[in-house]
Amino acid sequence: MHKGIAHFQVGEKIDGYLLIKSVAKGVASNGKPFLTLQLGDHTGEMEAKLWDCNPDDETTFVSSTIIHVTGDIQEYRGKLQLKIKGIRPTTAMDHVKLADFLQCAPIDPEEMFAKITQYIFEMKNANLQRITRHLLKKHREAFLEIPAATKNHHEFVSGLAYHVVSMLDLAKALANLYPSLDTDLLYSGIILHDLGKVIELSGPVGTTYTVEGKLIGHISIMVNEIGQVANELAIEGEEVMVLQHLVLSHHSKGEWGSPKPPLIREAEILHMVDNIDAKMNMLDRAMERVKPGEFSEKLYAMDNRSFYKPTFSN
Amino acid sequence: MHKGIAHFQVGEKIDGYLLIKSVAKGVASNGKPFLTLQLGDHTGEMEAKLWDCNPDDETTFVSSTIIHVTGDIQEYRGKLQLKIKGIRPTTAMDHVKLADFLQCAPIDPEEMFAKITQYIFEMKNANLQRITRHLLKKHREAFLEIPAATKNHHEFVSGLAYHVVSMLDLAKALANLYPSLDTDLLYSGIILHDLGKVIELSGPVGTTYTVEGKLIGHISIMVNEIGQVANELAIEGEEVMVLQHLVLSHHSKGEWGSPKPPLIREAEILHMVDNIDAKMNMLDRAMERVKPGEFSEKLYAMDNRSFYKPTFSN
Amino acid sequence: MHKGIAHFQVGEKIDGYLLIKSVAKGVASNGKPFLTLQLGDHTGEMEAKLWDCNPDDETTFVSSTIIHVTGDIQEYRGKLQLKIKGIRPTTAMDHVKLADFLQCAPIDPEEMFAKITQYIFEMKNANLQRITRHLLKKHREAFLEIPAATKNHHEFVSGLAYHVVSMLDLAKALANLYPSLDTDLLYSGIILHDLGKVIELSGPVGTTYTVEGKLIGHISIMVNEIGQVANELAIEGEEVMVLQHLVLSHHSKGEWGSPKPPLIREAEILHMVDNIDAKMNMLDRAMERVKPGEFSEKLYAMDNRSFYKPTFSN
Amino acid sequence: MHKGIAHFQVGEKIDGYLLIKSVAKGVASNGKPFLTLQLGDHTGEMEAKLWDCNPDDETTFVSSTIIHVTGDIQEYRGKLQLKIKGIRPTTAMDHVKLADFLQCAPIDPEEMFAKITQYIFEMKNANLQRITRHLLKKHREAFLEIPAATKNHHEFVSGLAYHVVSMLDLAKALANLYPSLDTDLLYSGIILHDLGKVIELSGPVGTTYTVEGKLIGHISIMVNEIGQVANELAIEGEEVMVLQHLVLSHHSKGEWGSPKPPLIREAEILHMVDNIDAKMNMLDRAMERVKPGEFSEKLYAMDNRSFYKPTFSN
Amino acid sequence: MHKGIAHFQVGEKIDGYLLIKSVAKGVASNGKPFLTLQLGDHTGEMEAKLWDCNPDDETTFVSSTIIHVTGDIQEYRGKLQLKIKGIRPTTAMDHVKLADFLQCAPIDPEEMFAKITQYIFEMKNANLQRITRHLLKKHREAFLEIPAATKNHHEFVSGLAYHVVSMLDLAKALANLYPSLDTDLLYSGIILHDLGKVIELSGPVGTTYTVEGKLIGHISIMVNEIGQVANELAIEGEEVMVLQHLVLSHHSKGEWGSPKPPLIREAEILHMVDNIDAKMNMLDRAMERVKPGEFSEKLYAMDNRSFYKPTFSN
Amino acid sequence: MHKGIAHFQVGEKIDGYLLIKSVAKGVASNGKPFLTLQLGDHTGEMEAKLWDCNPDDETTFVSSTIIHVTGDIQEYRGKLQLKIKGIRPTTAMDHVKLADFLQCAPIDPEEMFAKITQYIFEMKNANLQRITRHLLKKHREAFLEIPAATKNHHEFVSGLAYHVVSMLDLAKALANLYPSLDTDLLYSGIILHDLGKVIELSGPVGTTYTVEGKLIGHISIMVNEIGQVANELAIEGEEVMVLQHLVLSHHSKGEWGSPKPPLIREAEILHMVDNIDAKMNMLDRAMERVKPGEFSEKLYAMDNRSFYKPTFSN
């Protein structure tokens, strides 16, 4: 299969490798079990039904398995659906590997890491610089892999790093226009604000919440880590508390998960920069699939609005 | 008086010209009337009490009058207050003029107008360009004078123009980072979004709401004007409706005055750009008066929060 | 088929003409496609399933088509459902016409128009009279056809005109009891308040929202039209702004779509008259189908309440 | 004093009898006590200050006392205020009586009672008729005296009876337009809906809430009374429960004091009729004092809105 | 069948008697009707599907019928489901009785009644004692049978009595810690607070709301009964009104069904005791089914939260 | 002065020592400055006015100063007020000490500490026991001094310790009734839940919020400390995370300051126990001052309700 799953049309036939991203069992109205598979590759995803499956199928076709599949592309409720004709699990003989089937950030992780490192390198405030460098280094591996969220925005491999890089560039542009901003503080806050997700989320594939993620949450996790790093590095200035405040308040309101609202100028800006980058990511991906003169699907994380693409837009 | 009112300290004496920005009558507990005057110049404002005033005083010392005053600076409830010892209205002989007593935008109005004109000049979409140019030209005089609001942010002479210029520069920076944005549409929306305030507000000094401002509001006023200009210029493309939508939705939510939420990418960004620039203006002006390690006064338009200035901030 | 679809019972057989009001595709658990058809005539609607349909069926049986159908009436989840045995599209040979299959207002459109015209004729304020007459005349055709809403209340052919006539009669009764009301203003506001729906809605059958309806909305559409008509007719009195305010505020609150709340006595009354007539229409139609001692289905637009019909009611 | 307090202007002198409606003690900034008196007659009220009062004054000038007063009318914060020069309590020698100093409904109580009795007389449902007649008769005296509320609307002697009569007339007009309404039920509900206020409120002058009013409230009080009357009269039909429901639900929502929302058509209409009559009463009284082209004071019970009187209004 | 339905595992076969707790009809995608049965015994419930049923089945297998069934236990969407192989209604020959198939409170009703009677016996305030004893005696039979609610908490036979007993014991413990509490009043309030449910709910099996339950509600029902009992017993002290207030306010807020908030110390405590006991009941039953280190299903009545069972818990 | 300030009546004279709890400056309407002093001792507080004060007075009579005062008790707006006749600061010669002028918990701090220690001693879970003991010991001194809050409940010296002891006793009673509760976890959570206030609050007298209190808050402060103590003590079990969750969630909702809602049974109970004890403390103190048959003042932290004391209460 040469072209990605995202480029198939109704009526075409498929014959190739796909990754099972999630599975749900069902019982059909004739009493027989079936599986609803979410199949994907690096270009996108499509739902598929495996009718009349047997108990073996249920243990073979599980999440994160790469399969070989043949079938027809149909339409169901306005979405494409794959009608499976043949399906088998892959073996070493198939020479396929997981990484080839995942959606990734458009920039190489190492390149993003270098860029973030440069931002840290240029900081003048040694306390902020040391805490930020230490924590980024500590969680480097997971940070470069995990998505920024389980859904809604930047939900792809290396999504968090991509989100952080975009936010840094946006913050730099803002600081040029509003010179009162303390860039060292703002950049530190951006780099660390979601870093607790390396513990909150299970990993880059089939991402779910860990127990610690559910009970403590990435905000409190990172606030704790900042405190512990400051201890380890024997840093005692007000920067520790202020940086904890930036992380603590970056969701802006109690009902959105921040126990304190932003009470420092850079905390307020951090929240807004986070908001803009997340929304632009959602909008860009939604509008890509919309033709001029039409409305997008409803975007849940944007108050369920459908966005319009003007006919005069390019 | 050489130094501005904003630079006086408790215990100092004042002897010079000031503008009456607003007046309120009171009756003291001994049954005698008094006036509470808000006096100001181009640097700021201070409250003053005129005790035991007579009926003539009430008709002499009215809003927008320039007076000559002598008195002592005292403190009352954490704020400075002027205790008036002598006060008289000015005449032609005093050689004072209103413009010298008003807070103004830090950039010259003509310079701002030239900058906005350049943004319009570079537009490629002729429909958006013609509507925007026509309306800006029509309301040029008032646009260059009025504040962006009666309080909270950019509430000084030429405040609206200053707000628009800042938003344009911010939008340009954003468009560099997110190339999917239609800059012609976004710039048009920014230039027109608050232009209805030339009719909603009474003018640059002692600004209040007009009857039309109260009953119709600047949003609907400008949506109507865009429709009428399109009629006059015989413009029929979808740009008219889309531009009306940007103005209509720039307050984002029904309860904030927008009958439609943003449903176009540039409408969403317009709202966020408006928000950032207004907040940065409020924060910068509030934090100017705060020492490191202290909290600002409560900022009403920012959910009544007091902001902290870190001790390590410059 | 002589009796209307609303009068069939479980177990009866149907053999006659019906209109397809909407269609949805599905895939059955055996993998075969089927169609869910909403079929109706001037008395009401019923759902029908067309199992094992082929691709031709999907292009033949589309919305707004009149079909000939045979089948059995069954019950499914407390609602009647038609099990289709035979179905075919109609041709000129069938001598059926769309108008015979639509639910309509109980009064003839021309009669309603004459009644509204009489209300306008009796106005003493020439400005209000001229604007109202001009706009009603301009949109006469669509006004007499469209429903008052796509669902909830008065969602039938000529529903808007019927709603306006009822509101006028109700307003007249109120003005008798509260003589302080300016009837010219109140009647004008009633006639124009929803007139923007002629542009917001697609038409009398299979009614949906137009792009302009979604982006601008009937309230702002009509406020603009009032401004333009005043221009054309060279009317300059305060009536223009006041009438715009009545239209602008008739949804009463920002979160319900009005950028300004009612700030004029007649605006407040207009909102309440609109509310009463819409609710009485919903209640009357819901309670018709309820037996004494039982509760109605849940009424979504009335906070999801089920209403009770007392046993002593007639 | 021949003309009423409501007709005095700034600068005039007053010399006549007034009723003390309420009193509040204060201590002036010179440490001396003073009294703030709310003085009124049948036309309206005005605030007055009695400076440097002695302990005797505090026991002499109490609420519900008629006094003779001389003084000057001044203005304070946009409201008229009486500066007291001479004040004394009245005795039998003054030949003044309370009733002459109270604001009353514009219709004679007995006439209103006759009108309500006629509505009851015409009822066809004997159960509703007997319960309503019995309760009205039981509480006749207080019902004809008390206001409809302690503030906001119909807050004058016989205000409740006046409110009920207006609502009955409005309900009759509605029933003509919407013949599905059960008028016996609706009229019974209107007559009884606020009758519990005879126990909730302390009486016609200086009205406050009783302990039972605060702990149980007029709604539950009347629901209980309906139940007890039905017991006494041995009435057993569903009318009892339905009438209780109408009283229970007439505030429409839990947060407004109704433990059940309206679930019967007449209950919904009862709420709306109550709402319209209360609002028209508030608006009429507020707009009386407003000149064309100006805004009213803020009306607390109408979401704090200021209403505008158009220049073309009569 | 010896072991209860709650103890079956996937793959086991069932052959025994079960109670039909509720039934819903469906139409399969092949057009044939089927029944979804909720089957249960005294240990719990399980869903079962009866495919291809005929019209007789629909009238035979109705709610509250005891059936004999054979089939296999399967899993569907994480829940066990019974695949019916054979099913028949029972007759007198089967020697089964309803009581054996219902979930009941863990304490014998008579024992609970004795315990509550003892609480009443120890009261010192004769008025509270007489009212409470009279009402409990009047509704004794239904009180000992009905659940405390139709779902969420204590939704089993004698659930209300069990809830009351737990609350009394909890109130006694609280009164030991906070001696200012008036235990007579608090115990009376607890015993009567939900007693109106004997009229609000239909009965112990297949519990639904009665018409009076929907239109008046258990709170107002019991407030009325307290008033009537006081009349009958000629009790006139403030205890009547105060006890009515406790019942009236025990849901704490208007939007939760209480027309008055708690305004007496014991009323506030009654609400909190009710709250704690309901939540502990929900939590205990939910956590029973959860293994250490896992989360419970979402609990609707507890803000849809999933609760975690720590690994170190016993 | 032998009797406490709380026992003085209007008309009495005062001559003795009092503590200045807070001071506010004012300017009288004659232009002269005055001080409003809040004066108190271990029994309560009273407001006092010092008229015509000079600059020395402002620096002498500051918060936390013990003064000797003579004057008269008057009434102002329903509250007692002290009219100062003579006032002087105290010196070593007066032999007065701060501790004698403060309101304290009714139990000796050491006794409370012993009681809490006993609860810890009886824990079976070593991890919970060690963390709790370590943190209590670390903050022992401040813990035994500070109030539980700056206002509303337990706002007296040792208020926090008193609150914790009451909560432990209440939790013990609950655990007897609901044996599923893990008492080790619940007691640990209670002891630590507010311990962060030793850093959030400034101290036992004239209590205000520290910068860290405002920016981070006592919840996050203690969550961090638990993590650090676990590190120091090398404790690695799930107890650490679970205990952090209990502290994190004890305000129950995001808008009340908890970034996570309670997701563990003991966390839910901890919140409810906290709530009950705080409310009983507020109610007991408010109702002490109320006579039977009267209402309390409005209690801000209890939704501004006024509570009624029944006439039959003891």
- Residue F297: per-residue pLDDT: 86
Kindly state the average pLDDT of the residues F220-232. 97
pLDDT at D314 over 60: no
Q: Are residues B54 and B125 in the same domain?
A: no
Express each pLDDT in C34-90 by its tens digit.
888 989 888 888 889 888 888 788 889 988 889 999 988 887 766 788 888 899 999
CA of B309, closest CA in chain A: separation in Å?
7
List CB contacts of B25: < 8 A, sequence separation 6 or more: B33, B34, B35, B36, B58, D75, D76, D77
Could you give the CA distance from residue F261 to residue F250 in angstroms, rounded to a whole number? Answer: 8
Task: Give the model's confidence band at A1: pLDDT under 50 very low, under 70 low, under 90 confident, else very high.
Answer: low
pLDDT at D2 over 70: no
Output DSSP code: residue B276: H
Could you give the CA distance from residue B159 to residue B107 in angstroms, rounded to a whole number? Answer: 10
Kindly state the average pLDDT of the residues E19-47. 82
pLDDT at C194 over 80: yes
Could you give the CA distance from residue F190 to residue F274 in angstroms, rounded to a whole number? Answer: 8
Kindly state the average pLDDT of the residues A136-153. 91
pLDDT at D99 over 60: yes
C264–B215 C-beta distance less than 8 A:
yes
**What is the overall mean pLDDT for chain A?**
91
Show which of E39, E68, E96 is a domain's final residue.
Answer: E96
Of A164-173, E4-13, E20-29, F123-132, least confident by mean pLDDT is E20-29
- Residue F58: per-residue pLDDT: 84
Q: Are residues D155 and D228 in the same domain?
A: yes
Chain A residues with CB-CB distance to C214 below 8 A:
295, 308
- Pick E9 or A260 by higher pLDDT: A260
- Residue E2: per-residue pLDDT: 62
Could you give the CA distance from residue D311 to residue C3 in angstroms, rounded to a whole number? Answer: 57
Show which of F96, F118, F153 is a domain's final residue.
Answer: F96
Express each pLDDT in A71-104 by its tens digit.
888 877 667 888 888 999 998 899 888 878 888 8
Say if D165 falls within a structural domain: yes
Express each pLDDT in C80-100 by its tens digit.
888 888 999 998 899 888 878
**What is the overall mean pLDDT for chain E?**
91
- For B75, other C-beta atoms within 10 Å of its C-beta total 15
Say if C296 falls within a structural domain: no
For residue A251, the Cα-to-chain-centroid distance in whole angstroms is 17
Say if C311 falls within a structural domain: no
- Residue B265: per-residue pLDDT: 97
Task: Give the model's confidence band at F27: pLDDT under 50 very low, under 70 low, under 90 confident, else very high.
Answer: confident
Show which of D36, D63, D96 is a domain's final residue.
Answer: D96
Chains touching E (at least 3 CB pairs under 8 A) are A, C, D, F
Could you give the CA distance from residue B195 to residue F280 in angstroms, rounded to a whole number? Answer: 56
pLDDT at E314 over 70: no
**What is the overall mean pLDDT for chain C?**
91
Q: Are residues F91 and F113 in the same domain?
A: no
Amino acid symbol at A55: P
Backbone dihedral region for residue A97 (phi beyond 0: left; psi -120 to 50: alpha; all else: beta): beta
Task: Give the model's confidence band at E31: pLDDT under 50 very low, under 70 low, under 90 confident, else very high.
Answer: low
Q: Is E304 on the interface with F (CB under 8 A)?
A: no
- Residue D33: per-residue pLDDT: 77
pLDDT at C156 over 90: no
Bridge partners of F48, per DSSP, are: F37, F82
Express each pLDDT in D81-94 by its tens digit.
888 889 999 988 99
pLDDT at A259 over 70: yes
- Residue F22: per-residue pLDDT: 84
Say if B5 falls within a structural domain: no
ipTM value: 0.87
Show the domain range for D86. Answer: 12-96
Could you give the CA distance from residue A242 to residue A265 in angstroms, rounded to a whole number? Answer: 11
Query: Per the structure, how many domains does chain A have?
Result: 2
Q: Is F115 on the interface with E (CB under 8 A)?
A: no
Nearest to C263 among B215, B248, B255 (CB): B215
Could you give the CA distance from residue E221 to residue E209 in angstroms, rounded to a whole number? Answer: 13
Q: Are residues D56 and D142 in the same domain?
A: no
Kindly state the average pLDDT of the residues F40-59. 84
Chain F residues with CB-CB distance to D26 below 8 A:
76-77
Q: Is F93 on the interface with B (CB under 8 A)?
A: no
Kindly state the average pLDDT of the residues A155-165. 93
- For A106, other C-beta atoms within 10 Å of its C-beta total 8
Bridge partners of C14, per DSSP, are: C71
Express each pLDDT in D269-305 by its tens digit.
999 999 999 999 999 988 987 899 999 988 989 999 9
Task: Give the model's confidence band at C31: pLDDT under 50 very low, under 70 low, under 90 confident, else very high.
Answer: low
- Pick B189 or E16 by higher pLDDT: B189
Express each pLDDT in B97-115 by its tens digit.
887 888 889 999 999 999 9
Say if A17 falls within a structural domain: yes
- Residue F29: per-residue pLDDT: 64
C215–A81 C-beta distance less than 8 A:
no
Q: Are residues E87 and E114 in the same domain?
A: no
Q: Are residues F117 and F91 in the same domain?
A: no
Q: Is E212 on the interface with D (CB under 8 A)?
A: yes
Nearest to E279 among F176, F261, F268 (CB): F268
F215–A263 C-beta distance less than 8 A:
yes
E264–F272 C-beta distance less than 8 A:
no
Of C172-186, C219-233, D292-306, least confident by mean pLDDT is D292-306
Q: Are residues D197 and D169 in the same domain?
A: yes
Q: Are residues B122 and B85 in the same domain?
A: no
User: What residue in F sits closest to E270 (Cα-Cα)?
Assistant: F276
Q: Are residues E35 and E168 in the same domain?
A: no
Could you give the CA distance from residue F210 to residue F150 in angstroms, rounded to a whole number? Answer: 12
Task: Give the model's confidence band at F289: pLDDT under 50 very low, under 70 low, under 90 confident, else very high.
Answer: confident
CA dihedral over B66, B67, B68, B74, signed as positive or negative: negative
Task: Give the model's confidence band at E78: pLDDT under 50 very low, under 70 low, under 90 confident, else very high.
Answer: low
pLDDT at E169 over 90: yes
**What is the overall mean pLDDT for chain F?**
91
Token pair in block for residue A224 = 């704790």
Say if E101 falls within a structural domain: no
Express each pLDDT in C249-308 by its tens digit.
999 999 999 999 999 999 999 999 999 999 999 999 889 878 999 999 889 899 999 999
Residues of chain B with pLDDT under 50: none
Bridge partners of E104, per DSSP, are: E157
Task: Give the model's confidence band at F228: pLDDT under 50 very low, under 70 low, under 90 confident, else very high.
Answer: very high
C74–E27 C-beta distance less than 8 A:
yes
Q: Count CA atoms within 13 Å of residue E155 on its CB side.
A: 15
Say if C231 falls within a structural domain: yes
Amino acid symbol at C294: E
pLDDT at F314 over 60: no
- Residue C150: per-residue pLDDT: 82
- Residue B146: per-residue pLDDT: 92
User: Measuring CA to CA, how many Å separate A96 from each of A41, A102, A206?
Assistant: 12, 12, 18
D25–F29 C-beta distance less than 8 A:
no
What CATH number is given to the structural domain containing C57?
2.40.50.140
Task: Give the model's confidence band at E114: pLDDT under 50 very low, under 70 low, under 90 confident, else very high.
Answer: very high
Could you give the CA distance from residue B50 to residue A95 in angstroms, rounded to a whole number? Answer: 91
List CB contacts of B26: < 8 A, sequence separation 6 or more: B33, B34, B35, B36, D76, D77
Express each pLDDT in D209-228 by its tens digit.
999 999 999 999 999 999 99
- Residue F97: per-residue pLDDT: 84
**What is the overall mean pLDDT for chain B?**
91
- Pick F8 or E219 by higher pLDDT: E219
- Residue A2: per-residue pLDDT: 62
Task: Indicate which of E22, E23, E30 best probes the interface with C, i.e. most C CBs within 10 Å of its own CB.
Answer: E30
pLDDT at E1 over 90: no
Q: Are residues E160 and E51 in the same domain?
A: no
Nearest to D265 among C180, C239, C307 (CB): C307
Task: Give the model's confidence band at D170: pLDDT under 50 very low, under 70 low, under 90 confident, else very high.
Answer: very high
- Pick A165 or E102 by higher pLDDT: A165
Rounded to a whole number of angstroms, the distance between the first and last alpha carbons of chain C is 31
Chains touching B (at least 3 CB pairs under 8 A) are A, C, D, F
Say if F305 falls within a structural domain: no
Q: Are residues F52 and F151 in the same domain?
A: no
Task: Give the model's confidence band at D31: pLDDT under 50 very low, under 70 low, under 90 confident, else very high.
Answer: low
Task: Give the model's confidence band at E311: pLDDT under 50 very low, under 70 low, under 90 confident, else very high.
Answer: very high
- Pick A3 or A181 by higher pLDDT: A181
Kindly state the average pLDDT of the residues F167-184. 97
Q: Are residues E231 and E270 in the same domain?
A: yes
Kindly state the average pLDDT of the residues C13-40. 83
pLDDT at E211 over 70: yes
Could you give the CA distance from residue B257 to residue C253 in angstroms, rounded to a whole number? Answer: 9
- Residue F54: per-residue pLDDT: 81
- For C150, other C-beta atoms within 10 Å of its C-beta total 16
- Residue B79: per-residue pLDDT: 75
Of B61-65, C23-27, F302-306, least confident by mean pLDDT is C23-27
Kindly state the average pLDDT of the residues E190-216. 94
pLDDT at E276 over 80: yes
Task: Indicate which of B29, B53, B209, B211 best probes the interface with D, i.e. most D CBs within 10 Å of its own CB.
Answer: B29
